[in-house]
Every structure is written in C-alpha cells, then in structure tokens.
Structure 1
Amino acid sequence: MIRGAAAQPVSTRSLIEWAFAREKAQLEFEDDVMRASGYGYVSSTAAIIQHEQLGCRIDGGGRSDPHPDADVVAAAVAALPEARGGHRMAVWVAELARAGRVPDCMVDARPVVRPVETHVNRWGEMAKTADAAALGSLGWPAQARRNRKGVVVQDAVLFCPVRITPTVDQIASARRAYLDWRGALMDLRDSFTAYGGLTAWRVTDELPPLRPWIRNTCITKLDIPLIESRNGV
C-alpha cells in the first residue's frame, strides 16, 4: 500500500488481515481511556474517533510504525463492544487475521456412528459387543432357551456400544462461533463505513458467507460405518 494514494476498495476481512498480518498492528486495550462507565466500549466508532483525537499510536517497539490505517483498524478491533464479544473476540479476530484464517465452522462435518471398541480376527475388523444386562433398566436380561440336550440355559443379549462424533452439539457450537466472528466483522464494517476515517482504504459491504455450511444443514441420516459385530450383526 502506497501512502497518499487514492483509497482502494477492500473487504472488512481483507482490511483486518492487512493490518495485523502485513502491517503487524498490535491490540492495545486502553481501559482507562476508551471505556464508558464500566460497561465496555461505547462503540468501535467512538473508540476510533477518540484514538484519532488523542493522536495515539499502538506501540510495537523495535520496528517501523505500521500504516496509520492499521493503527485505526487495531483500535477498532480492540474496541469491539461486549455485545460482540469484547476483548475475547478482539483477540480472536486479531489471531485469525494474522494467520489469514477464518473460524472452523465444520463445513463438511456430520455425525458419524462408530463402535466404542473393535477387534480384529480372521474375518477382519469387528465391533466389540457387551452384555445388555449391564445397562440395567435400559438393557435386556439374559434370555432363557433350551440347548440341544434339553437343558435350560441363559443367553446374554449382546449390544454394540457406540459413540457419535462429532456430535450435533459440537457442530452447532463451531457454527455459532463462526457467526459470532462474522457478527464482529459486520460491526467493524459498519463502524468503518460510518466513521470514514481510513485514508488508504474504502471498506466495501462484502462480508464472509453467512452460512458456508448451508448445503449440509439438513442432516437426514447418521453415517454408520460397515463394521460387523462378532455375531455378524
């Protein structure tokens, strides 16, 4: 970026990545200056304005100063309101920007049913089974039958303990986190648009996709691997 050149259009994500990854801007939480009555920052816009009025720069130490716009971006990220995650979200946004990454929203994830334990015999990999009586009221007691000698014997009812991974809760949590991150970027975009304090960049309306996993939101069945039990079931 050439200082003094005409403002160039840029998305909010690209702007933040430029500021933190290329310009090496650093977060600085100035609680005594930019906090409002103990209830968090009034807004990203208010923090940017105060940052400019004070003429303060984020101290990187031992390196050339970042572009002034990078300082403005860092101040805006540090000033994310509590409704958008506050300091915790600011740190996460900056970390992702430095790495050039977005949150893992588990786009292609879906629950898979797998046996808790398996064993290998001459027929291949088999699922280990267990006695259903161990499940108590949720299981089944041993079943009586007569063997070939006419003697009544008790046969255990076997079941295959399974685990589901990833769980629906894990997928939902990852996607909520992605939406929180996107919401923070939307807040920053609106602040940059309303304030207009950037000199080298003009922030566009572009945001990361709202639901990049949309093709997978309707899960109609669980994936069940073809692993047999020792009884061939």
Structure 2
Amino acid sequence: MIALREPLRPMGRDRRAIGVWPLIVWAFKREAAQLDFDDDRAELSQGFGYASATAIIAQHEMLGCRIDGGGRSDPHPDADIVASALAVLPEGCGGRRMAITMVEHARADTMPGWHVATSIQPVRWDRNPHGRYAMTADAVADGVAVPAMVSGWRGRLQRQEGRYCPVVVMGGPSEVAARRRDYLRWWSALLDVRTSLQLGNDLSAWVVTDDMPPMQPWERG
C-alpha cells in the first residue's frame, strides 16, 4: 500500500488546488467526515451519480441534522460535501461497498495494493519438538511418479517409495490479475468522484484538479 501526506485545513477565502484523492484523505482522515447513506439521495442523483452536495446538505439542514461527524467538532463543510459525493457512488462504480473501501483507505492514508509477491509454500505443515516442517507425500500413491522396483532382501523385488513435497504457488497470475482488477475498479470510482465534485463546484476552500493516481502503476518502469 502507498502512504500519502494529508493537506492541512485550508484557511482564508482563496480556494486551493488539490487532487481528488488527497482531498478524500483530508476529508476522512483529518476532518473525520463520515459516510451517511441516505436512500433519499437516489432521487437527487443524476449523470455520473452526482447529487448536488449543496442540495444534500440543504436537505439535512431542513431536517435539523448534519452528516455525522463522529462525536467531535464538526468537519469542515467541504469534508461533508466530499462524503456526500462518495455516498452516492453509482452501482456501476461499486456503489456503497466501494465507497466504504475508499473511506477505509483514506483513513489509513493508503491506496489499494496492486502488487502481489510470488512465493512457493508447502501444501501441508507439521510440527515436532524442533519446530515446524513441510510434510511430504508418497509420489507413487498420489500418481505423480511411476513406481520403481528394486531388489530387496533375498533378491525379492519390492517397490521403492518416492517422497515429494506438494507445494502451492502464492501470488500466481490469477491473484495478480484479481488485485489489478480491484485497483482499476477503485481508480474508476475515484474518477467518478472527481467528475462529480468538478461538475458540482460546491467546495468553498478547494478546487479539484484533474490529478489522479496512476491508472496502471504496474506498467511503470
């Protein structure tokens, strides 16, 4: 996972430029914004899944409540807007599950890991007084070897047992592909949030730039 440096709370009237992911990290890690899944927002959603954050917050004010701030001082209003944008992620971008994933990474100041280390591990382990050891199996009984007949006691032929250690490859191609698909889904959802915030242009302290994390970081040299 990749750690990020969070921006400070903006001061003054001038809006500062910021990428969408550092903005989300700021909203959920520094400002402690909370997701508030309100089913009524579906009626406000349109286009890329954007529901005007101004309309959402106005709706909360009419009801006499605010987006939950986690039992501490209220988050910056812009943090509430970011939370609102994530809460209405369309199902095509992962919906609520993806929103929760994004918040978890934002609070941990990380991005989804796409790299998988490849290793070979024994299928079965056992222990003795000296510690753990890899278990072996009969290659002939498992059908992975042809039995060898050798001369035994008094010249009688007997089958020679062949032992081998069954192994499993961890981090193989299928796992690598799955990790990369998960990263691309996260990146696509992030693009949707960026588009929503740019279309709404509701933030008072920030201007969301086009900056995005690498789309396919595994292709970098």
TM-score range, shorter chain: 0.7 to 0.9
In percent, how many aligned pairs have the same letter?
A: 39
Measured after TM superposition, the shift of residue 142 of structure 1 is: 2.2
Equivalent position of 1:88 in the other structure = 97
Name structure 2 gaps, 5 residues minimum: 1-8
The 1-side partners of 2:138 and 2:159 are apart by 12
Contact kept? 1:41, 1:82, Cα under 8 Å: no
With the length of structure 2 as denominator, give the TM-score of the two structures. 0.78
Which residue, 194, 201, 207 being the options, matches 1:196?
Answer: 201
AA in 2 matched with 1:172 = A
Per-residue deviation, residues 173-202 of structure 1 (Å, max 9, x unmatched): 222222211111111111111221111111
Which residue, 3, 28, 41 being the options, matches 1:20?
Answer: 28
Which residue, 112, 118, 142 being the options, matches 2:119?
Answer: 112
The 2-side partners of 1:100 and 1:148 are apart by 69
Counterpart check, 1:79 vs 2:79: no
Contact kept? 1:34, 1:50, Cα under 8 Å: no
- The 1:82–1:67 alpha-carbon spacing in structure 2 relative to 1, beyond 3 Å, is same
Measured after TM superposition, the shift of residue 150 of structure 1 is: 3.7
The 2-side partners of 1:118 and 1:60 are apart by 48
Contact kept? 2:33, 2:70, Cα under 8 Å: no
| Alignment RMSD | 2.9
- The 1:188–1:61 alpha-carbon spacing in structure 2 relative to 1, beyond 3 Å, is closer
Contact kept? 1:47, 1:79, Cα under 8 Å: no
SS in 2 for 1:63: coil
Equivalent position of 1:97 in the other structure = 106
Measured after TM superposition, the shift of residue 76 of structure 1 is: 0.3
The 1-side partners of 2:96 and 2:208 are apart by 23
AA in 2 matched with 1:161 = P
Comparing 56-65 and 96-105, the one that deviates more: 56-65
Equivalent position of 2:5 in the other structure = none
Aligned pairs for 1:13-92 within 5 A: 13-31=21-39, 33-36=40-43, 41-42=45-46, 43-54=48-59, 56=61, 57-60=66-69, 62-92=71-101
The 2-side partners of 1:153 and 1:14 are apart by 70
Counterpart check, 1:207 vs 2:212: yes
Comparing 86-95 and 170-179, the one that deviates more: 170-179
Contact kept? 1:12, 1:206, Cα under 8 Å: yes
- The 1:128–1:45 alpha-carbon spacing in structure 2 relative to 1, beyond 3 Å, is closer
- Corresponding residue pairs, total: 204
